[in-house]
Structure 1
Amino acid sequence: MEQLGHLLVVALLRALSILPYRWVARLGSGLGAALYRLPGRRKHIVLVNLHLCFPEKSAGECDKLAREHFRHVVRSYLERGIQWFGSARRIGNIVQIESAIDLEDKNAPPTIFMGFHFVGIEIGCILYSLKMPAASLYTHMSNTRLCDLAKRQRGRFGAEMIERSTSARKIVRRLHEGKPVMLAADMDHGIENSVFVPFFDVPACTLTSVSRLAKMGHARVVPFVTEVLPDFKGYRLNVFAPLNDFPSGSDTDDARRMNAFLETQILKFPAQYYWVHRRFKHRPEGMPAVY
């Protein structure tokens, strides 16, 4: 039964990959709006996150933002068909790039591309791998078949997929070899190698991996964000200038700075951040659980 389900998912994604992009995007948006009408755990998580991060918003405003977020999230799942099975040319046609650095500089210093979990992160990473050999960190999924599929399709244009739990030395070795490393450190992966720093004034368990790897690899840290464009016009990959004085020598200060940068980007298009994740899963000692 599990194998049949996996085959059906692959068949669906392949079918979606050949449909016009706007059709898939509109279908996903409509399906997301419909699913939001149903009670569910993910809807609860989204609303809790929004109320915590935007206490100034009314219940009605949070509900409206959550509904828009569901549209984006479900749409992003359906667009995996194009992202995982679409041609390089097709992907290039739906993603614009605005970069403060030369993305094809073969003499670039060791570089960590620091991403964030917006709904468009997937296609942004895939597009970069079309331009330059890169390594990309991923988190192993509980569904092994789906994890293997995601890893294979994300890396089909040459990206080396490295599991997040792997040795830091392997990642640093790639940096020294001149291969950029892409990672995202804005999820709650537990208190080990993490610090509690503010995220919209709420203590958030935040990974310190970016600072540690940058220090070990003598690497610059370049933030990037992939934005979903309005009116179903595709995406824009925004690559920013390297962060100054990063790492600073303080993991806590660096994590605080990373979250502050992320906040500025979320405020530009708040419905596109992955509020469906339990960002505040772990809490400082003495603080109650929120989910």
Structure 2
Amino acid sequence: MQFLAYILIYPILWLISILPFKLLYLFSDGIYVLIYHIIGYRRKTVNENLHLVFPDKSEKEIKTITKKFYHHLCDMVVESIKSMTISEAEMKKHFTFSNIELIQQLEKENRSIALMCAHYGSWEWIFILQTYMNVKGYAIYKRLANKYFDRLVKRIRAKYNSHLITTKETISVLMDAKEKGEVSVCGFASDQSPKHDKAFHWTKFMGITVPVHTGAEMIAKKTDMSVVFFGVKKLKRGFYETTFKTLAYNPMDYPDYEITDQFLKLVEEQIYEAPEYYLWTHKRWKHRDKVPENYT
């Protein structure tokens, strides 16, 4: 059944991927009507999240953000599909870097990099970063149930010398690279919610106390990786600009969780500036009522 699903769906995805951008975004507009107006995909979750973190906004403002978010979400879907066939030159026109020299300088200094990001703007096209570097790149992902689509995702994201690894593999792979003296860069999407009973750290995110992922910071300390945040700004439809900011050159110089807290503050700044580009469909604040009694 997995293979049947793959051979039926893959040609459709490929045909979508070769559409010119104008037609691609017309297709995205059609998906928007389907998932927002007809299916109502996770509208309740989005509405709850926005009211929770923006209690002072009016219903009209919340509705405006919601509609803009769903338009952006649909764009993200078709842009992910476009990754199947988009050329390197075209990708570089659509996803640019304002200060790539920061990353290149760390590479010259033989510093491995833990690259922290949020589910904001566009994170699918960050893989083009590898074309500006000569080091091995890793990205952590969740393995798909369908092994054929899982291979497809790996193949797409490996186009520019990036290697996908699962969460369970991360420490062993990066420790092995360190022991071999290899300089590498690894991407961590660190803004989503961990299981509350396994969280090491709770802090305020968008004004609400929640458990937070600390894996990127802890792994960076174990493997002596400089920690860099990348923020994404959507310039216009289909065009993004990424800016890097060093959070910790030597992570061991920082108290535990300080780097993570710095990261979350930068994520908040992005959201407050343009909230429609954050991934509101995830239940990021679902554990807010489970704060440990000993938490201060």
Q: Which bracket does the TM-score occupy, shorter chain normalised? A: 0.7 to 0.9
State the match for 2:175 in structure 1.
172
Matches within 5 A, 1:69-148: 69-99=69-99, 101-105=101-105, 106-108=107-109, 109-124=111-126, 126-132=127-133, 133-148=136-151
- The 1:186/1:242 distance shift into structure 2, 3 A limit, reads same
Contact kept, 8 Å, 1:33 with 1:71, in 2: the verdict is: no
Change (3 A) 1:256 1:239: closer
More moved, 191-200 vs 176-185: 191-200
TM-aligned CA distance change 1:141 to 1:227, over 3 Å: farther
CA contact (8 A) 1:95 1:236 kept: yes
Alignment CA distance shift 1:167-1:158 (3 Å): closer
User: Contact conserved, 1:33 with 1:68, CA < 8 A, in 2?
Assistant: no
Which of 147, 160, 173 is the matching residue for 1:157?
A: 160
RMSD of Structure 2 on Structure 1 (CA): 2.4
2:243 to 235, 238, 242: 238
Q: CA deviation at 1:10?
A: 2.1
Q: In the alignment, is the contact (CA less than 8 A) between 1:134 and 1:159 conserved in 2? A: yes
Deviations 1:53-94 (A, max 9, x none): 111112221121111101111111111122233221221122
Identity of aligned residues (%): 21
Mind listing any 5+ residue stretches in structure 2 that lack a counterpart? none
In the TM superposition, residue 201 of structure 1 has moved relative to its aligned partner by: 1.0
Letter paired with 1:141: L
CA distance in 2, matches of 1:286, 1:188: 13
**1:7 and 2:15 are equivalent in the alignment:** no
Q: TM-score, normalised by structure 1?
A: 0.87
SS in 1 for 2:19: coil
Q: Distance in 2 between matches of 1:8 and 1:49?
A: 36
Would you say how many aligned residue pairs link Structure 1 and Structure 2? 284
Quote how far apart the aligned CAs of 1:100 are: 6.0
2:274 equivalent in structure 1: 269
Counterpart residue number, 2:192: 187
How many Å apart are 1:39 and its aligned residue?
5.2
The DSSP-based 3-state class of the residue aligned with 1:271 is helix
Which of 251, 259, 269 is residue 254 of structure 1 equivalent to? 259
Instruction: Call closer, same or farther: CA 1:268–1:84 in 2, change over 3 Å.
Output: farther
> Tell me, what secondary structure is at the counterpart of 1:235?
strand
Q: Which amino acid counterpart does residue 72 of structure 2 have in structure 1?
A: H
Specify which of 207, 215, 232 is matched with residue 213 of structure 2.
207
CA distance in 2: counterparts of 1:174 and 1:43, whole angstroms: 43
Letter in 2 for 1:189: P
- In structure 2, C-alpha distance between the alignment counterparts of 1:127 and 1:49, rounded to whole Å: 31
Q: 1:157-215: CA deviations, max 9, x gaps?
A: 21111111225132233355101111111111313244221111112221111210121
- Contiguous gaps of at least 5 residues in structure 1: none
Q: Tell me if the contact between 1:26 and 1:75 (Cα under 8 Å) persists in the aligned partners.
A: no
Equivalent pair of 2:116/2:229 in contact (CA under 8 Å) = yes
Report the CA distance between 1:144 and its aligned residue.
3.8
Once the two structures are superposed, residues 86-106 of structure 1 have per-residue CA deviations (whole angstroms, 9 ceiling, x without a partner) of 221221122221126443344
